[in-house]
Amino acid sequence: MTTPSVSSITITLNEESNIGECIDSVDWCDEHIVVDEYSDDNTIEEAKSHGANVFTAETPDDANSFDILRSKAIDYASHDWILRIDADERSTPSLNRRLQQLVGQDGVDLVRVPRQTYIGQKWITSGDRWWPDRCPMLFRAESIEISDQIHQYIVPKSDADIIELPATEETSLNHYSYSSLPDLARRRWRYAESDGQSRNIGLSYVILATAQDFFTGIIKDEGFRNGIVGIAVPIIDSLYNIAVAYYSIRENNI
């Protein structure tokens, strides 16, 4: 049986330092589609030099660009089998081999893989949100829908056959999302504004969510085992909850 062809898709905005290694890490794919949101660095040139077909697209300022651009990327893809990889993610030879084995198999419509997320050079292992943090990576285009929720963008249809790879380093995707703790804090604050404006919450949310995140992150998930970084993360998450409540209160005039 002939193995179906696979298109990789990646969304970019000013990712010149990442996009080349990202594409190269999945060089077994038959084509690479990059949809760029008008980067003002050399992202497009870098992507093309690594063999990608690059398209540009702009989204409204008040829209969540993730769902719009991923939908476009799937439309641009020549093949029904899609491999989704973000610019700050890297596949590995062992993960690639496993994914290649699953392409086109009966009973496989979508494959979720565990993801190792790093803050700087530190792999964060405390808590399900950080590890194994499975995400959809390989799927048939007709078996999924695109959500408008950030980080929940690929949703399998009700009849899709889903495979989850085991939580091992050999089958995991490397996610270099945050360069440092300050970088994590900046992004949390940026997401807090959009999250808060779309929700109606108040002081009780702040108290409960903050206490839960702090207790879960440090005690239940043993964040202390990750050292200073593991302790700092739940503190940043707690501050995020406060920021969400602030923007919600301001937006809704509570």
Report the 3 state secondary structure along the chain.
Answer: CCCCCEEEEEEECCCCCCHHHHHHCCCCCCEEEEEECCCCCCHHHHHHHCCCEEEECCCCCCCCHHHHHHHHHHHHCCCCEEEECCCCEECCHHHHHHHHHHCCCCCCCEEEECEEEEECCEECCCCCCCCCCCEEEEEEHHHEEECCCCCCCEEECCCCCEEECCCCHHHCEEEEEECCHHHHHHHHHHHHHHHHHCCCCCHHHHHHHHHHHHHHHHHHCCHHHHHHHHHHHHHHHHHHHHHHHHHHHHHHCC
The pLDDT tens digits of the residues spanning 143-201 come to 998 765 554 568 888 899 999 999 999 999 999 988 888 888 888 877 777 676 666 66
Question: What is the mean predicted confidence (pLDDT) over 33-58?
Answer: 95
Is residue 153 within 8 A of residue 138, CB to CB? The reply is no
- Residue 83 near residue 6 (C-beta atoms within 8 A): yes
Distance between alpha carbon 175 and the CA centroid of its chain, in Å? 8
Residue in this structure with the two tokens 């969400």, named with its chain if needed = 244
Say what the pLDDT of residue 80 is.
95
Instruction: Give domain limits for the chain.
Output: 6-176, 180-252
Domain 6-176 falls in which CATH fold? Spore Coat Polysaccharide Biosynthesis Protein SpsA; Chain A (3.90.550)
Q: Give residue-wise pLDDT tens across range 103-143.
A: 989 999 999 999 999 988 888 887 667 889 999 999 999 99
Nearest to 231 by CA among 246, 216, 244, 217: 217
Question: What would the pLDDT profile of 84-109 be if each residue is shown by its tens digit?
Answer: 999 999 999 999 999 999 998 999 99
Please provide the average confidence, as pLDDT, over all residues in the chain. 85
What integer is the mean pLDDT of 38-55?
A: 97
**In the numeric block, which tokens belong to residue 14?**
């000013």
- Section 199-208 average pLDDT: 66
Span 225-248, mean pLDDT?
75
Question: What is the residue whose two structure tokens read 């990442």?
Answer: 18
pTM above 0.85, yes or no: no
Nearest to 76, CA basis, from 56, 104, 47: 56
Residue 213's pLDDT band (cuts 50, 70, 90): low
Identity of the amino acid at 93: P
Phi, psi at 217, each rounded to 5°: -65, -40
Token pair listed for 254: 């509570």
Q: What is the pLDDT of residue 189?
A: 78
